[in-house]
Structure 1
Amino acid sequence: MFEEILLTVMDPLLRAKYEQFMAELIGHRKAKIEALSAKEKLLALQWMRCDGQILTPALAKEIEEVLNDEGVEFLKQHKVFTPDVWTQLFDKATEVAPAFFRLMRRTTERIRMGNLRGRQDLLVDVDMANIVDGSTGLFMYIRNLDVTPRTVVLRMQSPDFRPSDLALTFHLPAGEAESLLGSAVPVSGEGDEDVIGSLVRLLQLGTTSWQSLLPNRYGEATVTVRLENEDGDLLLGQQINTRVRSGTKKRLRRTGVVVSATLGVLGVVASVILQVNRLLSL
Protein backbone atom coordinates (compact mmCIF):
# COMPACT_ATOMS: atom_id res chain seq x y z
CA MET A 1 0.00 0.00 0.00
CA PHE A 2 2.90 2.39 0.65
CA GLU A 3 4.06 1.96 -2.93
CA GLU A 4 0.57 2.36 -4.37
CA ILE A 5 0.11 5.72 -2.67
CA LEU A 6 3.63 6.93 -3.49
CA LEU A 7 3.10 6.19 -7.19
CA THR A 8 0.09 8.53 -7.25
CA VAL A 9 2.31 11.52 -6.40
CA MET A 10 5.07 10.73 -8.92
CA ASP A 11 5.16 12.13 -12.43
CA PRO A 12 5.68 9.60 -15.28
CA LEU A 13 9.42 10.25 -15.50
CA LEU A 14 10.02 9.84 -11.77
CA ARG A 15 7.80 6.77 -11.72
CA ALA A 16 9.92 5.13 -14.43
CA LYS A 17 13.08 5.96 -12.47
CA TYR A 18 11.50 4.59 -9.29
CA GLU A 19 10.56 1.27 -10.89
CA GLN A 20 14.10 0.86 -12.23
CA PHE A 21 15.59 1.87 -8.87
CA MET A 22 13.36 -0.45 -6.84
CA ALA A 23 13.95 -3.43 -9.14
CA GLU A 24 17.71 -3.04 -8.77
CA LEU A 25 17.47 -2.39 -5.02
CA ILE A 26 15.34 -5.47 -4.35
CA GLY A 27 17.82 -7.48 -6.41
CA HIS A 28 20.33 -6.81 -3.62
CA ARG A 29 18.13 -8.28 -0.87
CA LYS A 30 19.49 -11.03 1.33
CA ALA A 31 18.86 -14.61 0.23
CA LYS A 32 16.17 -15.61 2.76
CA ILE A 33 14.04 -12.47 2.34
CA GLU A 34 11.18 -12.41 -0.13
CA ALA A 35 10.98 -9.56 -2.64
CA LEU A 36 7.59 -8.26 -1.44
CA SER A 37 8.64 -8.30 2.22
CA ALA A 38 11.85 -6.48 1.36
CA LYS A 39 10.01 -3.76 -0.56
CA GLU A 40 7.36 -3.27 2.13
CA LYS A 41 9.96 -3.02 4.88
CA LEU A 42 12.20 -0.59 3.01
CA LEU A 43 9.31 1.72 2.17
CA ALA A 44 7.90 1.49 5.69
CA LEU A 45 11.35 2.38 7.05
CA GLN A 46 11.55 5.45 4.83
CA TRP A 47 8.10 6.53 6.02
CA MET A 48 9.03 6.01 9.68
CA ARG A 49 12.20 8.07 9.17
CA CYS A 50 10.22 10.89 7.55
CA ASP A 51 7.63 10.67 10.35
CA GLY A 52 10.28 10.85 13.06
CA GLN A 53 9.56 7.38 14.43
CA ILE A 54 13.03 5.91 13.91
CA LEU A 55 16.50 7.38 14.32
CA THR A 56 19.33 7.08 11.80
CA PRO A 57 21.39 4.38 13.63
CA ALA A 58 18.33 2.13 14.00
CA LEU A 59 17.32 2.85 10.41
CA ALA A 60 20.74 1.76 9.13
CA LYS A 61 20.57 -1.42 11.22
CA GLU A 62 17.12 -2.34 9.88
CA ILE A 63 18.20 -1.71 6.28
CA GLU A 64 21.20 -3.98 6.79
CA GLU A 65 18.81 -6.76 7.84
CA VAL A 66 17.18 -6.56 4.40
CA LEU A 67 20.00 -5.71 1.97
CA ASN A 68 23.47 -7.06 1.38
CA ASP A 69 26.49 -4.73 1.45
CA GLU A 70 26.13 -3.83 -2.23
CA GLY A 71 22.48 -2.98 -1.72
CA VAL A 72 23.20 -0.78 1.30
CA GLU A 73 25.83 1.11 -0.67
CA PHE A 74 23.53 1.39 -3.71
CA LEU A 75 20.81 2.94 -1.55
CA LYS A 76 23.22 5.38 0.12
CA GLN A 77 24.83 6.55 -3.12
CA HIS A 78 21.72 6.81 -5.33
CA LYS A 79 21.57 10.24 -6.92
CA VAL A 80 17.79 10.43 -7.42
CA PHE A 81 16.18 8.78 -4.39
CA THR A 82 18.01 10.66 -1.67
CA PRO A 83 16.65 11.17 1.88
CA ASP A 84 15.36 14.62 0.85
CA VAL A 85 13.46 13.17 -2.10
CA TRP A 86 11.88 10.48 0.11
CA THR A 87 10.79 13.20 2.53
CA GLN A 88 9.21 15.22 -0.28
CA LEU A 89 7.42 12.16 -1.65
CA PHE A 90 5.98 11.17 1.71
CA ASP A 91 4.96 14.77 2.43
CA LYS A 92 2.99 14.82 -0.84
CA ALA A 93 1.58 11.36 -0.19
CA THR A 94 0.39 12.47 3.26
CA GLU A 95 -1.50 15.34 1.61
CA VAL A 96 -3.14 12.93 -0.83
CA ALA A 97 -3.98 10.20 1.70
CA PRO A 98 -3.79 11.63 5.25
CA ALA A 99 -6.16 8.96 6.57
CA PHE A 100 -3.87 6.10 5.53
CA PHE A 101 -0.82 7.53 7.25
CA ARG A 102 -2.85 8.38 10.35
CA LEU A 103 -4.03 4.75 10.38
CA MET A 104 -0.42 3.53 10.01
CA ARG A 105 0.76 5.88 12.76
CA ARG A 106 -1.98 4.62 15.07
CA THR A 107 -1.07 1.02 14.26
CA THR A 108 2.65 1.49 14.99
CA GLU A 109 1.77 3.14 18.31
CA ARG A 110 -0.51 0.24 19.28
CA ILE A 111 2.17 -2.26 18.33
CA ARG A 112 4.77 -0.37 20.36
CA MET A 113 2.47 -0.26 23.41
CA GLY A 114 1.41 -3.89 23.00
CA ASN A 115 -2.33 -3.16 22.86
CA LEU A 116 -3.14 -4.24 19.30
CA ARG A 117 -6.10 -6.60 19.79
CA GLY A 118 -9.06 -7.66 17.70
CA ARG A 119 -12.82 -7.87 18.19
CA GLN A 120 -15.12 -10.59 16.89
CA ASP A 121 -11.98 -12.49 15.82
CA LEU A 122 -11.14 -9.59 13.50
CA LEU A 123 -8.50 -6.90 13.60
CA VAL A 124 -10.14 -3.84 12.02
CA ASP A 125 -9.26 -0.17 11.74
CA VAL A 126 -10.92 2.56 9.65
CA ASP A 127 -9.91 6.13 8.91
CA MET A 128 -10.90 9.04 6.70
CA ALA A 129 -9.77 12.67 6.36
CA ASN A 130 -11.25 15.05 8.94
CA ILE A 131 -11.49 17.83 6.36
CA VAL A 132 -12.26 17.03 2.72
CA ASP A 133 -11.27 19.17 -0.28
CA GLY A 134 -12.74 17.50 -3.34
CA SER A 135 -12.43 13.73 -3.48
CA THR A 136 -11.20 11.79 -0.47
CA GLY A 137 -10.24 8.25 0.45
CA LEU A 138 -11.62 5.94 3.10
CA PHE A 139 -9.10 3.37 4.29
CA MET A 140 -9.87 0.15 6.11
CA TYR A 141 -7.55 -2.57 7.36
CA ILE A 142 -8.96 -6.06 8.05
CA ARG A 143 -7.23 -9.19 9.33
CA ASN A 144 -8.88 -12.46 10.23
CA LEU A 145 -7.83 -13.80 13.63
CA ASP A 146 -9.94 -16.95 13.41
CA VAL A 147 -8.29 -20.30 12.61
CA THR A 148 -10.76 -20.85 9.75
CA PRO A 149 -11.18 -18.72 6.61
CA ARG A 150 -14.18 -16.41 6.54
CA THR A 151 -16.03 -14.07 4.22
CA VAL A 152 -17.04 -10.58 5.31
CA VAL A 153 -18.86 -7.72 3.61
CA LEU A 154 -17.69 -4.14 4.02
CA ARG A 155 -20.63 -1.77 3.56
CA MET A 156 -20.22 2.00 3.33
CA GLN A 157 -23.30 4.23 3.39
CA SER A 158 -23.55 8.02 3.26
CA PRO A 159 -26.03 10.57 1.88
CA ASP A 160 -23.16 13.05 1.63
CA PHE A 161 -20.79 11.16 -0.69
CA ARG A 162 -20.82 9.19 -3.92
CA PRO A 163 -21.15 6.24 -4.03
CA SER A 164 -23.85 6.55 -1.38
CA ASP A 165 -24.14 2.80 -0.78
CA LEU A 166 -21.28 0.46 -1.54
CA ALA A 167 -20.71 -3.17 -0.55
CA LEU A 168 -17.34 -4.94 -0.95
CA THR A 169 -16.85 -8.64 -0.26
CA PHE A 170 -13.57 -9.90 1.18
CA HIS A 171 -12.52 -13.53 1.44
CA LEU A 172 -10.13 -13.59 4.39
CA PRO A 173 -7.68 -16.46 4.82
CA ALA A 174 -7.31 -18.26 8.14
CA GLY A 175 -5.51 -16.27 10.77
CA GLU A 176 -4.24 -16.87 14.26
CA ALA A 177 -6.44 -17.31 17.32
CA GLU A 178 -4.45 -15.01 19.57
CA SER A 179 -4.35 -11.50 20.90
CA LEU A 180 -1.61 -9.82 18.92
CA LEU A 181 1.48 -8.55 20.64
CA GLY A 182 0.38 -8.70 24.24
CA SER A 183 3.51 -6.89 25.45
CA ALA A 184 5.31 -3.74 24.38
CA VAL A 185 7.99 -4.10 21.70
CA PRO A 186 10.85 -1.78 20.66
CA VAL A 187 10.76 0.23 17.46
CA SER A 188 13.88 -1.57 16.27
CA GLY A 189 15.34 -4.85 17.49
CA GLU A 190 16.90 -8.11 16.40
CA GLY A 191 15.01 -9.80 13.56
CA ASP A 192 11.34 -8.97 13.05
CA GLU A 193 10.26 -8.93 16.70
CA ASP A 194 9.94 -5.16 16.70
CA VAL A 195 7.52 -2.46 15.52
CA ILE A 196 8.73 -2.34 11.93
CA GLY A 197 8.72 -6.12 11.53
CA SER A 198 5.25 -6.40 13.07
CA LEU A 199 3.88 -3.62 10.85
CA VAL A 200 5.16 -5.28 7.67
CA ARG A 201 3.76 -8.63 8.81
CA LEU A 202 0.34 -7.08 9.46
CA LEU A 203 0.27 -5.44 6.03
CA GLN A 204 1.10 -8.74 4.35
CA LEU A 205 -1.31 -10.92 6.32
CA GLY A 206 -4.23 -8.48 6.28
CA THR A 207 -6.30 -6.71 3.64
CA THR A 208 -6.24 -2.95 3.09
CA SER A 209 -9.17 -1.31 1.29
CA TRP A 210 -8.86 2.14 -0.31
CA GLN A 211 -12.19 3.53 -1.49
CA SER A 212 -12.44 6.94 -3.20
CA LEU A 213 -15.44 9.07 -2.27
CA LEU A 214 -16.81 12.20 -3.98
CA PRO A 215 -18.77 14.72 -1.87
CA ASN A 216 -22.34 15.69 -2.78
CA ARG A 217 -22.33 18.95 -0.84
CA TYR A 218 -20.29 21.18 1.45
CA GLY A 219 -20.45 21.24 5.24
CA GLU A 220 -20.78 18.50 7.84
CA ALA A 221 -20.86 14.96 6.46
CA THR A 222 -21.02 11.43 7.83
CA VAL A 223 -20.05 8.00 6.57
CA THR A 224 -21.35 4.83 8.18
CA VAL A 225 -19.08 1.80 7.91
CA ARG A 226 -20.46 -1.66 8.64
CA LEU A 227 -18.67 -4.97 8.60
CA GLU A 228 -21.13 -7.82 8.13
CA ASN A 229 -21.00 -11.57 7.71
CA GLU A 230 -22.46 -13.26 4.63
CA ASP A 231 -25.91 -13.36 6.24
CA GLY A 232 -25.94 -9.60 6.77
CA ASP A 233 -25.40 -9.75 10.53
CA LEU A 234 -23.43 -6.83 11.93
CA LEU A 235 -19.95 -7.70 13.16
CA LEU A 236 -18.52 -4.22 13.66
CA GLY A 237 -19.81 -0.74 12.95
CA GLN A 238 -18.48 2.80 13.00
CA GLN A 239 -19.69 6.27 12.03
CA ILE A 240 -17.14 8.76 10.74
CA ASN A 241 -17.80 12.50 10.88
CA THR A 242 -15.99 14.86 8.53
CA ARG A 243 -16.31 18.30 6.99
CA VAL A 244 -16.42 18.94 3.24
CA ARG A 245 -14.75 22.23 2.36
CA SER A 246 -15.03 24.12 -0.91
CA GLY A 247 -11.97 23.78 -3.11
CA THR A 248 -12.34 27.48 -3.93
CA LYS A 249 -10.96 28.43 -0.51
CA LYS A 250 -7.95 26.22 -1.04
CA ARG A 251 -7.30 27.75 -4.46
CA LEU A 252 -7.64 31.26 -3.01
CA ARG A 253 -5.08 30.45 -0.31
CA ARG A 254 -2.66 29.14 -2.92
CA THR A 255 -3.25 32.20 -5.10
CA GLY A 256 -2.61 34.46 -2.09
CA VAL A 257 0.72 32.74 -1.44
CA VAL A 258 1.76 33.13 -5.09
CA VAL A 259 0.73 36.80 -5.17
CA SER A 260 2.61 37.53 -1.93
CA ALA A 261 5.73 35.81 -3.25
CA THR A 262 5.48 37.70 -6.56
CA LEU A 263 5.11 41.04 -4.79
CA GLY A 264 8.10 40.20 -2.62
CA VAL A 265 10.26 39.45 -5.66
CA LEU A 266 9.09 42.66 -7.39
CA GLY A 267 9.97 44.62 -4.26
CA VAL A 268 13.50 43.21 -4.23
CA VAL A 269 13.95 43.93 -7.96
CA ALA A 270 12.70 47.51 -7.53
CA SER A 271 15.10 48.05 -4.63
CA VAL A 272 18.04 46.77 -6.71
CA ILE A 273 17.07 49.03 -9.63
CA LEU A 274 16.89 52.10 -7.36
CA GLN A 275 20.32 51.35 -5.89
CA VAL A 276 21.81 50.94 -9.38
CA ASN A 277 20.29 54.26 -10.49
CA ARG A 278 21.77 56.01 -7.43
CA LEU A 279 25.21 54.60 -8.22
CA LEU A 280 24.99 55.68 -11.87
CA SER A 281 23.94 59.20 -10.94
CA LEU A 282 27.03 59.75 -8.77
Structure 2
Amino acid sequence: MFSGLSAFPLTPMQHGVIDETAFIGLIQRLADAGVDSIGALGSTGNYAYLTRKERASIAQLSVKHAGETPVIIGISALSIREVLALAEDAQEAGASAVLLAPMSYQKLSEDEVFGLYKVVTRALSVPLCVYDNPGTTHFEFSDELHGRIAELPSIGSIKIPGVPAAPDVAKERVERLRALIPSRVTIGVSGDPLAAVGLNAGCEAWYSVIGGLFPQTALAITRAIQAGDSQEALRISERLAPLWGLFSQHGGSLRVVATAAELQGLAASPSLPLPLRGLEGEDRQGLARLLDELQLT
Protein backbone atom coordinates (compact mmCIF):
# COMPACT_ATOMS: atom_id res chain seq x y z
CA MET A 1 0.00 0.00 0.00
CA PHE A 2 2.84 2.41 0.82
CA SER A 3 4.77 1.58 -2.34
CA GLY A 4 4.30 2.05 -6.06
CA LEU A 5 1.79 4.61 -7.32
CA SER A 6 -0.59 6.24 -4.86
CA ALA A 7 -3.01 8.34 -6.91
CA PHE A 8 -4.55 11.46 -5.35
CA PRO A 9 -7.83 12.49 -7.03
CA LEU A 10 -9.57 15.84 -7.08
CA THR A 11 -12.73 16.30 -5.01
CA PRO A 12 -14.91 17.99 -7.66
CA MET A 13 -17.34 20.65 -6.46
CA GLN A 14 -20.44 22.13 -8.08
CA HIS A 15 -21.86 25.37 -6.66
CA GLY A 16 -20.32 24.67 -3.27
CA VAL A 17 -21.54 21.05 -3.11
CA ILE A 18 -19.50 17.89 -3.71
CA ASP A 19 -20.14 16.45 -7.16
CA GLU A 20 -20.48 12.84 -6.01
CA THR A 21 -21.06 11.47 -9.50
CA ALA A 22 -17.84 13.00 -10.81
CA PHE A 23 -15.90 11.91 -7.74
CA ILE A 24 -17.10 8.31 -8.02
CA GLY A 25 -16.08 8.36 -11.68
CA LEU A 26 -12.56 9.45 -10.73
CA ILE A 27 -12.25 6.72 -8.07
CA GLN A 28 -13.45 4.01 -10.43
CA ARG A 29 -11.06 5.29 -13.12
CA LEU A 30 -8.14 4.84 -10.72
CA ALA A 31 -9.23 1.41 -9.54
CA ASP A 32 -9.73 0.22 -13.12
CA ALA A 33 -6.26 1.48 -14.05
CA GLY A 34 -4.66 -0.65 -11.34
CA VAL A 35 -3.02 2.01 -9.18
CA ASP A 36 -1.40 0.67 -6.02
CA SER A 37 -3.45 2.87 -3.70
CA ILE A 38 -5.82 5.85 -3.77
CA GLY A 39 -5.19 8.92 -1.61
CA ALA A 40 -8.46 10.76 -1.03
CA LEU A 41 -8.68 14.11 0.78
CA GLY A 42 -5.10 15.17 0.22
CA SER A 43 -4.35 18.72 -0.89
CA THR A 44 -5.68 17.92 -4.37
CA GLY A 45 -8.81 16.67 -2.64
CA ASN A 46 -9.37 20.11 -1.10
CA TYR A 47 -9.75 18.68 2.41
CA ALA A 48 -9.21 22.04 4.10
CA TYR A 49 -12.34 23.45 2.44
CA LEU A 50 -14.71 20.66 3.47
CA THR A 51 -16.79 20.02 6.59
CA ARG A 52 -16.43 16.90 8.70
CA LYS A 53 -19.66 15.54 7.25
CA GLU A 54 -18.45 16.13 3.69
CA ARG A 55 -15.14 14.48 4.43
CA ALA A 56 -16.85 11.46 5.99
CA SER A 57 -18.95 11.16 2.84
CA ILE A 58 -15.85 11.28 0.63
CA ALA A 59 -14.19 8.60 2.76
CA GLN A 60 -17.23 6.35 2.40
CA LEU A 61 -17.52 6.89 -1.35
CA SER A 62 -13.80 6.27 -1.86
CA VAL A 63 -13.80 2.93 -0.06
CA LYS A 64 -17.08 1.81 -1.60
CA HIS A 65 -16.01 2.44 -5.20
CA ALA A 66 -12.31 1.57 -5.00
CA GLY A 67 -12.92 -2.16 -5.09
CA GLU A 68 -9.83 -4.02 -3.90
CA THR A 69 -7.60 -0.94 -4.17
CA PRO A 70 -6.40 0.29 -0.74
CA VAL A 71 -7.66 3.75 0.18
CA ILE A 72 -5.69 6.29 2.21
CA ILE A 73 -7.86 9.05 3.73
CA GLY A 74 -6.57 12.48 4.72
CA ILE A 75 -7.42 13.46 8.31
CA SER A 76 -5.54 16.76 8.63
CA ALA A 77 -7.17 19.57 10.63
CA LEU A 78 -6.22 22.48 12.86
CA SER A 79 -6.82 20.79 16.22
CA ILE A 80 -6.10 17.33 17.57
CA ARG A 81 -9.76 17.08 18.56
CA GLU A 82 -10.77 17.48 14.91
CA VAL A 83 -8.05 15.12 13.69
CA LEU A 84 -9.20 12.38 16.06
CA ALA A 85 -12.81 12.79 14.92
CA LEU A 86 -11.76 12.57 11.27
CA ALA A 87 -9.60 9.53 12.02
CA GLU A 88 -12.63 7.83 13.56
CA ASP A 89 -14.72 8.62 10.48
CA ALA A 90 -12.03 7.31 8.13
CA GLN A 91 -11.64 4.07 10.04
CA GLU A 92 -15.40 3.54 10.23
CA ALA A 93 -15.55 4.01 6.45
CA GLY A 94 -13.04 1.19 6.02
CA ALA A 95 -9.94 3.17 5.07
CA SER A 96 -6.77 1.09 4.79
CA ALA A 97 -4.65 3.98 6.10
CA VAL A 98 -4.76 7.67 6.96
CA LEU A 99 -2.70 10.68 5.89
CA LEU A 100 -1.87 13.48 8.32
CA ALA A 101 -0.22 16.88 7.78
CA PRO A 102 0.51 19.30 10.65
CA MET A 103 -2.00 22.03 9.81
CA SER A 104 -1.84 25.19 11.88
CA TYR A 105 -2.84 28.82 12.19
CA GLN A 106 -0.17 29.51 14.80
CA LYS A 107 3.32 28.36 13.80
CA LEU A 108 3.99 24.95 15.34
CA SER A 109 7.15 23.84 17.11
CA GLU A 110 8.79 20.46 16.51
CA ASP A 111 7.64 19.25 19.92
CA GLU A 112 4.05 20.26 19.11
CA VAL A 113 4.15 18.39 15.81
CA PHE A 114 5.65 15.33 17.49
CA GLY A 115 2.90 15.51 20.11
CA LEU A 116 0.26 15.61 17.37
CA TYR A 117 1.48 12.37 15.82
CA LYS A 118 2.01 10.74 19.22
CA VAL A 119 -1.60 11.34 20.26
CA VAL A 120 -3.11 10.37 16.91
CA THR A 121 -1.13 7.17 16.39
CA ARG A 122 -2.26 5.91 19.80
CA ALA A 123 -5.87 6.18 18.63
CA LEU A 124 -5.43 4.39 15.30
CA SER A 125 -6.08 0.84 14.23
CA VAL A 126 -4.71 1.50 10.71
CA PRO A 127 -1.31 2.77 9.52
CA LEU A 128 -0.54 6.47 9.11
CA CYS A 129 1.37 8.30 6.40
CA VAL A 130 3.15 11.46 7.54
CA TYR A 131 2.31 14.28 5.13
CA ASP A 132 5.31 16.60 4.79
CA ASN A 133 3.97 19.47 2.66
CA PRO A 134 5.58 22.79 3.60
CA GLY A 135 3.99 24.48 0.59
CA THR A 136 0.57 24.32 2.27
CA THR A 137 1.33 23.83 5.98
CA HIS A 138 4.36 26.16 6.12
CA PHE A 139 5.96 23.74 8.56
CA GLU A 140 9.45 22.44 7.75
CA PHE A 141 10.16 18.94 9.04
CA SER A 142 13.75 18.20 9.98
CA ASP A 143 15.04 14.72 9.21
CA GLU A 144 15.56 14.27 12.94
CA LEU A 145 11.88 14.99 13.61
CA HIS A 146 10.92 12.49 10.92
CA GLY A 147 13.11 9.99 12.72
CA ARG A 148 11.36 10.58 16.04
CA ILE A 149 7.90 10.34 14.52
CA ALA A 150 8.78 7.22 12.51
CA GLU A 151 9.45 5.33 15.72
CA LEU A 152 5.83 5.80 16.83
CA PRO A 153 3.37 2.92 16.42
CA SER A 154 1.29 2.86 13.25
CA ILE A 155 3.65 5.03 11.18
CA GLY A 156 3.85 3.36 7.76
CA SER A 157 5.25 5.96 5.38
CA ILE A 158 6.58 9.49 5.03
CA LYS A 159 5.39 11.60 2.10
CA ILE A 160 8.24 14.02 1.40
CA PRO A 161 8.25 17.03 -0.93
CA GLY A 162 10.00 16.87 -4.28
CA VAL A 163 13.64 15.83 -4.11
CA PRO A 164 16.52 17.87 -5.57
CA ALA A 165 16.73 17.71 -9.36
CA ALA A 166 20.32 16.47 -9.47
CA PRO A 167 20.23 12.65 -9.23
CA ASP A 168 23.26 12.36 -6.93
CA VAL A 169 21.92 15.02 -4.58
CA ALA A 170 18.48 13.43 -4.61
CA LYS A 171 19.97 10.05 -3.70
CA GLU A 172 21.93 11.61 -0.84
CA ARG A 173 18.77 13.29 0.45
CA VAL A 174 16.78 10.03 0.45
CA GLU A 175 19.64 8.05 2.00
CA ARG A 176 20.04 10.66 4.74
CA LEU A 177 16.41 10.27 5.74
CA ARG A 178 16.48 6.48 5.33
CA ALA A 179 19.31 6.26 7.86
CA LEU A 180 17.08 7.87 10.52
CA ILE A 181 13.86 5.87 10.11
CA PRO A 182 12.96 2.19 10.59
CA SER A 183 13.05 -0.06 7.54
CA ARG A 184 9.32 -0.77 7.97
CA VAL A 185 8.56 2.89 7.14
CA THR A 186 8.62 3.69 3.43
CA ILE A 187 9.62 6.99 1.86
CA GLY A 188 7.28 8.37 -0.77
CA VAL A 189 7.99 11.31 -3.05
CA SER A 190 5.46 13.97 -4.01
CA GLY A 191 6.01 16.92 -6.32
CA ASP A 192 5.21 15.28 -9.65
CA PRO A 193 7.87 17.03 -11.77
CA LEU A 194 10.62 15.31 -9.76
CA ALA A 195 8.85 12.03 -9.05
CA ALA A 196 10.93 10.01 -11.52
CA VAL A 197 14.12 11.40 -9.98
CA GLY A 198 12.83 10.59 -6.49
CA LEU A 199 11.88 7.03 -7.38
CA ASN A 200 15.28 6.54 -9.00
CA ALA A 201 16.88 7.91 -5.83
CA GLY A 202 15.31 5.21 -3.67
CA CYS A 203 11.81 6.40 -2.78
CA GLU A 204 9.47 3.41 -2.59
CA ALA A 205 6.25 5.28 -3.41
CA TRP A 206 5.02 8.14 -5.54
CA TYR A 207 2.15 10.13 -3.99
CA SER A 208 0.90 11.60 -7.24
CA VAL A 209 -1.40 14.43 -8.25
CA ILE A 210 -1.26 13.62 -11.95
CA GLY A 211 -1.87 9.98 -11.09
CA GLY A 212 -5.25 10.99 -9.69
CA LEU A 213 -6.34 12.20 -13.13
CA PHE A 214 -4.13 10.38 -15.64
CA PRO A 215 -3.29 7.10 -13.88
CA GLN A 216 -2.00 5.24 -16.93
CA THR A 217 0.61 7.91 -17.61
CA ALA A 218 1.76 7.94 -13.98
CA LEU A 219 1.80 4.14 -13.90
CA ALA A 220 4.02 4.08 -16.98
CA ILE A 221 6.64 6.10 -15.08
CA THR A 222 6.27 4.03 -11.91
CA ARG A 223 6.34 0.64 -13.59
CA ALA A 224 9.34 1.58 -15.74
CA ILE A 225 11.38 2.32 -12.62
CA GLN A 226 10.15 -0.83 -10.89
CA ALA A 227 11.33 -2.77 -13.94
CA GLY A 228 14.75 -1.13 -13.75
CA ASP A 229 14.25 1.12 -16.78
CA SER A 230 15.01 4.49 -15.26
CA GLN A 231 15.75 6.07 -18.62
CA GLU A 232 12.24 5.31 -19.88
CA ALA A 233 10.74 6.82 -16.73
CA LEU A 234 12.81 9.96 -17.16
CA ARG A 235 11.88 10.13 -20.84
CA ILE A 236 8.16 10.08 -20.05
CA SER A 237 8.58 12.64 -17.28
CA GLU A 238 10.60 14.95 -19.52
CA ARG A 239 7.89 14.75 -22.16
CA LEU A 240 5.54 16.22 -19.56
CA ALA A 241 7.82 19.21 -18.92
CA PRO A 242 5.30 21.73 -20.34
CA LEU A 243 2.71 20.44 -17.84
CA TRP A 244 5.20 20.69 -14.98
CA GLY A 245 5.87 24.25 -16.09
CA LEU A 246 2.18 25.10 -15.75
CA PHE A 247 2.21 23.73 -12.20
CA SER A 248 4.95 26.21 -11.32
CA GLN A 249 3.30 29.07 -13.19
CA HIS A 250 -0.04 28.67 -11.41
CA GLY A 251 1.12 28.25 -7.83
CA GLY A 252 1.07 24.45 -7.75
CA SER A 253 -0.74 21.59 -9.38
CA LEU A 254 -4.30 22.02 -8.06
CA ARG A 255 -5.63 24.69 -10.43
CA VAL A 256 -4.06 23.01 -13.45
CA VAL A 257 -5.32 19.53 -12.57
CA ALA A 258 -8.83 20.79 -11.79
CA THR A 259 -9.00 22.59 -15.12
CA ALA A 260 -7.65 19.51 -16.89
CA ALA A 261 -10.39 17.41 -15.28
CA GLU A 262 -12.97 19.86 -16.60
CA LEU A 263 -11.47 19.89 -20.09
CA GLN A 264 -11.43 16.09 -20.17
CA GLY A 265 -15.09 15.89 -19.17
CA LEU A 266 -14.25 14.25 -15.85
CA ALA A 267 -15.63 17.15 -13.78
CA ALA A 268 -18.03 19.99 -14.49
CA SER A 269 -16.77 23.57 -14.56
CA PRO A 270 -16.04 25.20 -12.19
CA SER A 271 -14.90 22.30 -10.01
CA LEU A 272 -12.97 24.05 -7.25
CA PRO A 273 -14.37 25.37 -3.95
CA LEU A 274 -14.47 29.16 -3.87
CA PRO A 275 -12.45 31.30 -3.58
CA LEU A 276 -10.19 28.95 -5.58
CA ARG A 277 -10.47 29.33 -9.34
CA GLY A 278 -9.24 27.21 -12.20
CA LEU A 279 -7.48 28.46 -15.31
CA GLU A 280 -9.37 30.91 -17.48
CA GLY A 281 -9.03 32.62 -20.86
CA GLU A 282 -5.80 32.01 -22.76
CA ASP A 283 -4.35 29.94 -19.92
CA ARG A 284 -7.27 27.52 -20.19
CA GLN A 285 -7.02 27.40 -23.97
CA GLY A 286 -3.29 26.76 -23.73
CA LEU A 287 -3.84 23.86 -21.36
CA ALA A 288 -6.47 22.41 -23.71
CA ARG A 289 -3.97 22.51 -26.58
CA LEU A 290 -1.30 20.88 -24.44
CA LEU A 291 -3.60 18.06 -23.35
CA ASP A 292 -4.51 17.40 -26.98
CA GLU A 293 -0.80 17.20 -27.81
CA LEU A 294 0.19 14.98 -24.86
CA GLN A 295 -2.79 12.59 -25.09
CA LEU A 296 -2.51 11.61 -21.42
CA THR A 297 -4.50 8.67 -20.09
Structure 1 and Structure 2 fold alike (TM over 0.5): no
Name the structure, 1 or 2, with higher relative contact order (CA <8 Å, separation 6+). Answer: 2
Q: Which has the larger radius of gyration?
A: 1
- Give the shorter-chain TM-score range: under 0.3
TM-score by structure 2 length?
0.26
Structure 1 or 2: more strand by fraction: 1
